[in-house]
């Protein structure tokens, strides 16, 4: 979950990341940066025509990882644990999940 910090959709609401593009530089966030596209009759996703709305990607620098314990967007760090690397909240130091593969020999 992320919190968007700039633009019309900014706010302290945790949102779902739908896709990560360009190796992490841009992300597609549910309900953020929606745009309407006007389509003619016969379009596969709107057979009657009209407007279809979809999210456009935003820069990942405009979003923060959401920390459930702090209930807000926080800056994160990474640290090495016994078995892997993990992300953690810089505010409360709580783990925010593993990064990368788990070490086989740990
Ligand atoms: Zn936290």
Q: Residue 78 and residue 47: Cα distance in Å, rounded? A: 47
Domain coordinates of the chain in residue numbers? Answer: 2-74, 75-106
Provide the token pair at 68: 């459930």
| Tens place of pLDDT per residue across the chain (106 aa) | 999 999 989 999 999 999 999 888 999 999 999 999 999 998 888 888 899 998 999 999 999 999 999 999 999 999 998 888 999 999 999 999 888 776 665 4
- State in Å: Cα 68 to ligand 1 middle: 7
By the CB criterion, residues less than 5 angstroms from ion ligand 1 are 67, 69-70, 89, 91-92
| pTM exceeds 0.85 for this model | no
- State in Å: Cα 22 to ligand 1 middle: 27
Provide the token pair at 48: 């009657």
DSSP state of 101: P
Angle at 49 between CA 26 and CA 7, to 5 degrees: 30
- State in Å: Cα 26 to ligand 1 middle: 23
How many C-beta neighbours within 10 Å does residue 69 have?
Answer: 13
């Amino acid at each position: 979950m992320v919190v968007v910090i700039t633009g019309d959709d900014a706010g302290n609401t945790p949102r779902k990341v739908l896709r990560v593009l360009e190796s992490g530089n841009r992300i597609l966030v549910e309900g953020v940066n929606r745009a309407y596209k006007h389509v003619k009759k016969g379009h596969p996703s709107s057979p009657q025509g009209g407007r279809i709305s979809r999210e456009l990607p935003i820069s990942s620098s405009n979003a923060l990882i959401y920390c459930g314990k702090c209930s807000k967007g926080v800056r994160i760090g990474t640290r090495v644990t016994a078995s892997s690397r993990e992300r953690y909240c810089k505010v409360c130091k709580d783990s925010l999940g593993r990064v990368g593969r788990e070490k086989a020999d740990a």
